Amino acid sequence: MKTVFLLQHAYERTPDTEEQIKVIGVYATKGDAEDAIERLSKQPGFCDFPEHFEIGEFELGRDHWEEGFSTEYYTPIWDVWAEDSTGMLSRIESGMTENEALQFVRDHELEGAYTYFAMERR
């Protein structure tokens, strides 16, 4: 069977960000893919993550993903905090949607000696 070599570059900027994947090209030989790495590893962006190139060998004419997939959805949770004049922080509401938290801050921003702010929980 004929095979090809898929070159990708994949990295995460921080542990909290999604993986960034770029398909670089498909090559007839592993050597051709390695030559592409040599050329690209000096380019902006790639030079910051040179160890993140990946070469995969794939047989032509067959499925390489044979199962289905599911999509996971992330629902952020927001909390509202209050800061008093001494800098003391207190969480006053939790488990809200972004819209609920921001509305709470707007509704209470002119009250008393507290400064209110909303923050996504990590």
Return the pLDDT at 15.
64
Phi/psi at 72 (nearest 5 deg)? -100, 135
| Cα torsion angle, 37, 41, 43, 46, sign | positive
| Average pLDDT of the residues in 60-81 | 89
Q: Judge contact between 16 and 120, C-beta under 8 A.
A: no
In the structure, what pLDDT confidence band is assigned to residue 34 with cuts at 50, 70 and 90?
Answer: very high
Mean pLDDT, the chain, whole residue set: 89
| Average pLDDT of the residues in 67-81 | 88
Asked if pLDDT for residue 40 goes beyond 70, the answer is yes
Claim: this prediction has a pTM higher than 0.85: no
In the structure, what pLDDT confidence band is assigned to residue 113 with cuts at 50, 70 and 90?
Answer: confident
Residue scoring higher pLDDT (53 or 116): 53
In the structure, what pLDDT confidence band is assigned to residue 42 with cuts at 50, 70 and 90?
Answer: very high
Q: Which two tokens stand for residue 95?
A: 């488990």
